[in-house]
Amino acid sequence: MNPAPIDEVVDLLRTLRLPHMRAAAPELLATAKAQRWEPAEAMRALLTEELAGRQASSIRARRKAAGFPTGKTFDAWDETVSSIPAPTQRALRTLEWIHRHENLVACGPSGTAKTHFCEALGQAAVDAGHKVSWFSLEHLGALVRRHSADDTAAKAIRRIMRADVIVIDDIGLLPVATETAEALYRVVDAAYEKHSIALSSNLHPAGFDELMPKTIANATVDRLLHHAHIVMTAGDSIRLTQATAGKGVTPLTN
């Protein structure tokens, strides 16, 4: 195939807005000619490039929209360090609980890798095609509070519900304002049996009434725990252990 027809194919692919096929076409079509591929084989290879490119673009877009705090994945996870039983970790990593619209509650002392585990699960969910939204409890409360001023809070909740998985991080560190507690309840109620929530907390949900009004806490926990996997973390802070072992920083050089 001489250059002119290839250039024409590239122009057609540009017009049809098939960018991944267009990028692969010159080299792929030249290879097809040299190796005497069947036309259907060349077409399949081009379509495969377009599909793979679109899937990768979609994953990047979902990952950006999720708002993950650090970008931690299971690539940096050591299941032997976590106090969560290894079989439980592996079962949760299958993401079957997301398909069943079940929840995950990870609770335990600060520094026991609850946030890392939840974020890694969220990243895995994005890779598997799910939409994820990440919130700290304060961020969630502020978001709903902003929209309460002009009566658009219900719309804000509906936008949050576009996600398959809503991750709410760091409950239990500080007392929770009534408005923030109400925002948590509204999200848990809207997600109930339709979406999955992954929540990390220093307190077991049974103790949420220590942080927020008892009536709101009870209604929230009732819906949150009905279809929930509860994992308890324990032990010393992993961060503090690494720091005292000299593994918290890269050694300075002269």
pLDDT of residue 151: 72
Q: Among 36-45, 108-117, 229-238, name the one with the lowest average pLDDT.
A: 229-238
Answer yes or no: is pLDDT of 2 > 60.
no
pLDDT of residue 144: 85
Model's pTM, two decimal places?
0.81
pLDDT of residue 214: 94
The arithmetic mean of pLDDT across residues 19-33, rounded, is: 91
Q: What is the pLDDT of residues 126-146, one digit of tens each?
A: 999 999 999 999 999 998 888
For 98, residues 6+ apart whose C-beta sits below 8 A from its C-beta are: 125, 130, 164, 165, 196
Q: Among 5-14, 33-42, 101-110, name the one with the lowest average pLDDT.
A: 5-14
Spell out the SS3 assignment of the chain.
Answer: CCHHHHHHHHHHHHHCCCHHHHHHHHHHHHHHHHCCCCHHHHHHHHHHHHHHHHHHHHHHHHHHHHCCCCCCCHHHCCCCCCCCCHHHHHHHHCCHHHHCCCEEEEECCCCCCHHHHHHHHHHHHHHCCCCEEEEEHHHHHHHHHHHHCCCCHHHHHHHHCCCCEEEEEEECCCCCCHHHHHHHHHHHHHHCCCCEEEEEECCCHHHHHHCCCHHHHHHHHHHHHHCEEEEECCCCCHHHHHHHCCCCCCCCCC
Cα–Cα distance for residue pair 118/210, rounded to 1 Å: 24
The arithmetic mean of pLDDT across residues 111-122, rounded, is: 94
pLDDT of residue 65: 95
Instruction: Decide which of 178 and 6 is more confident.
Output: 178
The arithmetic mean of pLDDT across residues 83-88, rounded, is: 95
Answer yes or no: is pLDDT of 76 > 70.
yes
